[in-house]
Amino acid sequence: MDRQLLACIRTFGCQMNERDTETIQGLLAQEGYRFTTDIEEAQLILFNTCCVRENPERKVYGQVEMLRGAKADNPELIIGICGCMPQQKEELTEMLERLTHVDLIFGTHNIHRLPELLHRIKTTGERVVEILDESGEPVEGLPAHRESDFKAWVTVMHGCNNFCSYCIVPYVRGREHSRLPKEILREAKSLADEGIKEITLLGQNVNSYGQDLRLGMDFADLLSELNQVPGIERIRFTTSHPKDISDKLILQLARLEKVCEHLHLPVQAGSDHVLKRMNRGYNREYYLQLVDKVRYHVPDISLTTDIMVGFPGETDADFADTLSLVEEIRYDSAFTFIYSPRKGTPATKMPDQVPEEVKKERIYQLIEVQNKISLELNQRLCGEELEVLVEGTSKHDAHFLSGKTRTAKTVAFPGSQDLVGQLVSVRITEAKTWSLVGEIV
Ligand code: 5AD
Ligand code: SF4
């Protein structure tokens, strides 16, 4: 194999970044590149970065720093950084100063330019940095190198207009731009032709899909159209902003048979005082009523959420409100985060930042409460027969398959490898906090 054309891409952060990595790999594959997970044998190393919290940022600095020796030994090696981190001006300046051995830096709006940027490095031997502030219209028709033969992500919109006071995303991903319905449908049809059975629609806030297009088409309409694509058997979507979920969407969730019974509905906090300072655009009562409405129309829906602890000004009483909301709603699972100040966001400058020990204490408490609920809800599924899309063999035991229910729960069960990519019916025999065990019926 030509070592010159072996690339290793490390991806941090959300599904949006994972999807971008597929495009990056698609573009590189057209240039003749092949891919490896072994960073030591690669001649092109790319870090697709996330800046939502500080931790993943620190990891990137650490990992890039470790390549300094490799670059000195092998000047042909190309090291690149892309994604959300370099979209922040101050971060970019710091990167340029600290990481002097990096050859290539580009952002989230100019992925399609990668082949040209690489060409420039190879011909001039100079460092290439190109960041665009705004995306404009989404670039269509880019290739994608997908990992799975039966499930795929489909981006429906880019950017975010919400400016939650803690969040860096609107600054690095720009304003909302919806893809045209005809482009999304064309992609879904071509994925179905390739054998893809499950699609997950991606956007920072899919519920406001279409508003910028002014075509009279909203997210609920888009779901109806996608529901008719032959070959696609399951449709998922993420992320939903509670303030933008329409009654029409809830009805479609109940009506469209391919749309899975799972809603990821980030709540962030249970206290009105905190929600207001987060600029979330809803209060606790609104959220509780919304969940009631969703459950009324789709009784067996699984609900997941994102919750943050330690937002500036969060008191013990505020945190108690978050715990009581979690107990009241009973989420199937929750992603829990410690608030991390992000430069340039309003929350960073708010008074009463919460001490680290308090944040840690709160997140442990929250996780404990949620884990208990997750286990109880999973236990109630014992004895039920659920449809599972088989995704692969289990990490722990090769005779076990692993897949997902329509409600996005992971199930392990004995079975043969040729079932990978198939929909099977599984009876649940055992419940754990984060997964289920079962047998094929
Ligand atoms: N600190 C901690 N968590 C954050 N999130 C977004 N910004 C921050 C931040 N500054 C969390 C939110 C969001 C999820 C993707 O990441 O909960 O829903
Ligand atoms: Fe960030 Fe809020 Fe937009 Fe989500 S909706 S990306 S939390 S600003």
- Give exposure, 268-299, as e/b (b: 16+ Cβ within 10 Å): bbbbbbbbebbebebebeebeebbeebeeebe
> Do 404 and 372 belong together in one domain?
no
Find the mean pLDDT for residues 209-220. Answer: 95
What is the 39 CA–ligand 2 centroid distance (Å)? 33
Mutate to test the pocket of ligand 1, among 52, 162, 314 (most ligand atoms within 8 A of CB): 52
Ligand nearest to the CA of 176: 2
pTM: predicted TM-score of the whole model, two decimal places: 0.95
Last residue of a domain, which of 347, 379, 411? 379
pLDDT tens readout for residues 94-132:
999 999 999 999 999 999 999 999 999 999 999 999 999
For residue 263, the one-letter residue type is: L
| pLDDT (tens digit per residue) in 244-261 | 999 999 999 999 999 999
- Same domain as 328, residue 182: yes
Supply the CATH number for residue 12's domain. 3.40.50.12160
Question: Pairing relation of β-strands 423-431 and 385-393?
Answer: antiparallel
- CA–centroid distance, 160 to ligand 1, in Å, is 14
d(CA 119, CA 81): 16
Instruction: Give CA–CA dist 64/70, Å, rounded.
Output: 10
Ligand 2 mean position to 205 CA, how many Å? 7
Question: Is 368 part of a structural domain of the chain?
Answer: yes
**pLDDT greater than 60 at residue 1:** no
CB 273 within 8 A of CB 267: no
pLDDT at 137: 79
- In total, the chain counts a number of residues equal to 441
- How far, in Å, are 62, 81, 340 from residue 108 at the CA level? 22, 11, 22
Asked if 256 and 332 sit in the same domain, the reply is yes
Does pLDDT of 134 surpass 80? no
Ligand nearest to the CA of 15: 1
Nearest CA to ligand 2 atom 1: 167
Tokens linked to 319 = 């945190």
Q: 375 and 420 in one domain?
A: no
- What separation in angstroms does the CA of 121 have from each of 80, 116, 117, 124, 129? 11, 9, 6, 5, 10
280 Cβ below 6 A of ligand 1: no
As a whole number, the mean pLDDT across the chain is 96
- Kindly state whether residues 355 and 398 are assigned to the same domain: no
57 in the same domain as 22:
yes
* Cβ neighbours for 338, distance < 8 A, ≥ 6 positions apart: 53, 308, 309, 310, 359, 360, 363
155 and 174 co-located in one domain: yes
| Angle formed at CA 304 by CA 300 and CA 307, multiple of 5 degrees | 150
Q: Residue 59: which pLDDT band, with cuts at 50, 70 and 90? A: very high
Q: Is residue 371 part of a domain?
A: yes
Which residue's CA is minimally distant from atom 16 of ligand 1? 52
Mutual orientation of helices 219-227 and 181-193 as an angle, nearest 10°? 30
What pLDDT does residue 150 have? 96
283 shares a domain with 203: yes
Mutate to test the pocket of ligand 1, among 17, 160, 167, 333 (most ligand atoms within 8 A of CB): 167
- pLDDT digit string, tens, across residues 150-194: 999 999 999 999 999 999 999 999 999 999 999 999 999 999 999
pLDDT over 60 at 282, yes or no: yes
DSSP 164: -
Q: Is the dihedral of CA 375, 378, 383, 388 positive or negative?
A: negative
What share of the chain has pLDDT > 70, as a percent? 99
Answer yes or no: do 351 and 395 share one domain: no
Mutate-to-test residue for ligand 1 from 306, 331, 342, 353, highest number of ligand atoms within 8 A of CB: 306
The answer to whether residue 143 sits within a structural domain is no
Query: Which ligand 2 atom is nearest residue 163's CA?
Result: 8
The pair of structure tokens assigned to 402 is 């692993």
The closest-lying atom of ligand 1 relative to the alpha carbon of residue 341 is: 10
Position 96 scores a pLDDT of 96
What one-letter code names the amino acid at 141? G
Residue 394 pLDDT: 81
Cis peptide, bond prior to residue 239, ω within 30 of zero: yes
- Ligand nearest to the CA of residue 241, numbered in listed order: 2
Q: What number does the ligand 2 atom closest to the CA of 173 have?
A: 6
pLDDT of residue 3: 66
Q: Are residues 372 and 393 in the same domain?
A: no
Asked if 226 and 366 sit in the same domain, the reply is yes
In a domain, residue 187? The reply is: yes
The pLDDT of residue 135 is above 70: no
What domain range is 340 assigned to?
151-379
Do residue 367 and residue 394 come from a single domain? no
Give the list of residues 6+ apart from residue 86 with CB closer than 8 angstroms, or none. 49, 92, 95, 105, 106, 107, 129, 131
Kindly report the CATH number assigned to the domain that includes residue 389. Answer: 2.40.50.140
Quick check: is 56 in a domain?
A: yes
60-99 pLDDT, tens digit per residue, is 999 999 999 999 999 999 999 999 999 999 999 999 999 9
Ligand 2 binding pocket (C-beta < 6 A) is: 160, 162-164, 167, 169-170, 204-205, 241
Residues facing residue 390 across a β-bridge:
403
pLDDT of residue 438: 97
Please tell me the predicted confidence (pLDDT) of residue 87: 94
User: What is the Cα–Cα distance from 303 to 374, expressed in whole angstroms?
Assistant: 11
* Per-residue pLDDT at 133: 85
Beta strands in 174-292, from DSSP E residues, in sequence order? 177-178, 198-202, 234-238, 262-264
DSSP code for 52: S
Above 80 in pLDDT, residue 2? Answer: no
Residue 147 is predicted with a pLDDT of: 87
With vertex at residue 381, the alpha carbon angle to CA 377 and CA 384, rounded to the nearest 5 degrees, is: 165
Confidence at residue 138, expressed as pLDDT on a 0 to 100 scale:
82
Nearest CA to ligand 2 atom 4: 204
Q: What percent of the chain has pLDDT over 90?
A: 95
Q: Which of 359, 379, 399 is the last residue of a domain?
A: 379
In the block, tokens 């069960």 appear at: 413
Give dist(CA 89, CA 7) in Å, integer: 27
Residues sharing a CB contact under 8 Å with residue 299, sequence separation 6 or more, in sequence order = none
* Ligand closest in space to the Cα of 13: 1
What tens digit of pLDDT does each residue of 345-401 get?
A: 999 999 999 999 999 999 999 999 999 999 999 999 999 999 999 999 987 788 899
Ligand 1 proximity of 52 Cβ (cutoff 6 Å): yes
166 lines ligand 1 (CB under 6 A): yes
In testing the pocket of ligand 2, which one of 87, 167, 243 has its CB within 8 Å of the most ligand atoms? 167
**Residue for token digits 């059975």?**
197
Ligand 1 neighbour 337 (Cβ under 6 A): yes
Domain tally, the chain = 3
Cα–Cα distance for residue pair 203/138, rounded to 1 Å: 13
Higher pLDDT, 413 or 134: 413
